[in-house]
Amino acid sequence: MSLTIPTNLVLNPRSNKSLTQSVPKSSARFVCSDDKSSSSAPQSMKAFSAAVALSSILLSAPMPAVADISGLTPCKDSKQFAKREKQQIKKLESSLKLYAPESAPALALNAQIEKTKRRFDNYGKYGLLCGSDGLPHLIVNGDQRHWGEFITPGILFLYIAGWIGWVGRSYLIAISGEKKPAMKEIIIDVPLASRIIFRGFIWPVAAYREFLNGDLIAKDV
């Protein structure tokens, strides 16, 4: 902070007595300036540069590998999983030696070996988690990263099961008006069943339509 004093306030040792009479009170002038404002800009720039450098270091540092499920490791990193793969392939290769190279059993065993390698490769590729026994574990806690392990196959299973049930229900309803419906249950009417099977692929839409119409549930039950 600097202080500016007017020149008319300089003391004259010869005229000390008339100092108060010669200088009016209104002529006293003080000018103050703060040097902190000029130095705050470089300090803020230094703080900003330090923050940018720290954030770049944190972002570029590799994140530690932590398993999302306790006790499970990715199958591609599991030693027990790799050991199981080697054991299964070795067992098939030992059986392959008992047959001629171009025989039917040898061709079947070669196909089984390739299928086994592909299965283990897919387990590691799609991020399945293995336990200490080396076997893949299905994660059913609703985690989106593991939907392909349980939810997607589960929905497919429900669709197929519903399709089978809907086709059977439609076939029983179709033959209920026949003279001998029990015989139609024992000896399947193939042409009728074929038409119902192909119509059954849209069973969710058909079930919803019957639900709105009130025909989904039998009225006499």
State residue 81's pLDDT score.
95
Pair 137, 77 in one domain: yes
pLDDT (tens digit, 9 = 90+) per residue, 142-155? 777 777 788 888 89
Domain that holds residue 196: 150-213
- Can you tell me the distance from the alpha carbon of 162 to that of 182, in angstroms, rounded to the nearest whole number? 23
| Mean predicted confidence (pLDDT) in 97-119 | 94
- Can you tell me the distance from the alpha carbon of 118 to that of 112, in angstroms, rounded to the nearest whole number? 10
Task: Tell me if 66 is assigned to some domain.
Answer: no
> Is pLDDT of 109 > 90?
yes
Q: Does residue 123 contact residue 75 with C-beta atoms inside 8 Å?
A: yes
Domain end residue (candidates: 141, 162, 187) = 141
Pair 84, 134 in one domain: yes
Domain end residue (candidates: 9, 35, 61) = 61
Q: Is 146 exposed, middle or buried (0-12, 13-18, 19+ CB in 10 A)?
A: buried
The DSSP bridge partners found for residue 136 are 130
Q: What are phi and psi of 136, to 5 degrees?
A: -65, 145
CATH number, position 185:
1.10.8.110
**What is the count of structural domains for the chain?**
3
pTM given for the model: 0.51
Task: Tell me if 122 is assigned to some domain.
Answer: yes
pLDDT (tens digit, 9 = 90+) per residue, 153-179? 889 999 999 999 999 999 999 999 888
Helix (H, G, I), strand (E, B) or coil at 137: strand
Which residue has better confidence, 117 or 68? 117
